[in-house]
Structure 1
Amino acid sequence: MTNPKRLALLLALCLALGLALASTALAGNKFEDEVTAEKYAVLGANLAMQAMQGDYKLVDAATLKSWIDEKKDMVIVDTMPYEASYLKAHVPGAEQFLFPVPTMTKWDAKETDGKSEADFEKLLGPDKAKTIVIYCGFVKCTRSHNGAMWARKLGYTNVYRFPGGIYAWMGADYPVAK
């Protein structure tokens, strides 16, 4: 599992990133600025805590795009609903596998479109060391947390969560598949 030093470092990095983003993006009322800075800091800390709990790594849009451009051998999983999201836009090469928003502590096929752990493992493939990237819609969406956490529970060792999801991908003006 994850050690306390890794948690402290991850939390510090997320907090610093959140504060840096908030401070550079803001100008004006110091009280409103502080509310925004606090919002980013809490969001970063929550993301870091989820990553530690799930024992997976995080990847940003630019890095994922470079991996795709390099044709890195990986599985990309979109955890959003098929009709409402995946068909409209997804990261090129991504496969869809629905996960719920609330933390899924035990497998519940009702929450995964009737699919089982074995179905998820089949999608991810037999190579437990292969790079797995899991995303959902946006940073606050926790579907990707569930997918990454379950990939780790199934024994995959190189699991990444792309927290910005399809919104960050489109926000970076990267191409989408439909």
Structure 2
Amino acid sequence: MKRLIAFAALVLALTAFASPASALFGSDKFEKELEMEAAVVKYLGEAERGDYQTVDTPTLKQWIEEGKDMIIVDTMPFEDSYAKEHIPGALNFVFPIPDMDEWDASETSGSLEEFETLLGPDKDKTIVIYCGFVKCTRSHNGAAWARKLGYTDVYRQPGGIFAWKGAKHPTESAK
């Protein structure tokens, strides 16, 4: 009897270790797809509300290599993120994570006028705004406010610095 219990325990252990981790922890490809769908729908809603376009990491890298005339804005906190590493050439202007329907200088790097000065006088210039990662909404706030200021060619790079680093692209430091 002890052998049978030991054998059953061994078979159970081997089966558990041979199974994908998702089976052990209750997460499967269908649940992951549902999570992905929710993130995409949330992002699309933000982009629609903000009236901006989207640019992916490979295209942004290509634009930089081609010398495209644009302003890139990192919306992450200066000390905790931007100073350590950012996309080469990016400027920094911090935005909060929750939707910012009204301008609140205490939640940003400064006044609305300072943000407009950072973006420059050419309202048709390409503006690319990013933050940390897809679920981070700092870049949504930055892109939405750029559009509210009348900039016409505004993009949000959804993957942020995480996607940039994931693609093994070089970063700069402000230190």
Is this a same-fold pair by TM over 0.5? yes
Q: Give the equivalent residue in structure 2 for 1:117.
A: 112
Note the C-alpha offset of 1:152. Answer: 0.2
Which residue of structure 1 lines up, in the alignment, with residue 140 of structure 2?
145
Matches within 5 A, 1:19-98: 32-98=28-94
The residue number in structure 2 matching 1:165 is 160
- Cα distance between partner residues in 2 of 1:33 and 1:65: 30
Cα separation, 2, equivalents of 1:37 and 1:93: 35
Q: Percent identity?
A: 58
TM-superposed deviation, 1:28: 7.2
Q: Structure 1 32/109 Cα, relative in aligned 2: closer, same or farther at 3 Å? A: same
CA distance in 2, matches of 1:154, 1:31: 43
Q: Cα gap change, 1:28/1:153 in structure 2, threshold over 3 Å: closer, same or farther?
A: same
Partner of 1:101: 97
| Equivalent residue for 2:169, pick from 167, 171, 174 | 174
Count of residue pairs the alignment pairs up: 152
Deviation at 1:31, TM superposition (A): 6.8
> Which runs of no fewer than 5 residues in structure 2 stay unpaired?
1-19
Aligned partner of 1:135 in structure 2 is 130
Q: TM-score, normalised by structure 1?
A: 0.82
Q: CA deviation at 1:27?
A: 10
Tell me how far 1:162 sits from its aligned partner. Answer: 0.4
- Name the larger-Rg structure: 2
After superposition, give the CA deviation of every residue in 1:72-128 in whole Å (9 maximum; x if it has no partner). 000000000000100111000000000000100000010013x11110000000110
Give, in whole Å, the separation in 2 of the partners of 1:56 and 1:158.
Answer: 8
Q: Once superposed, which parts of structure 1, at least 4 consecutive aligned residues long, lie more than 2 Å away?
A: 26-31
Do 1:27 and 1:33's aligned partners in 2 also have CA atoms closer than 8 Å?
Answer: no
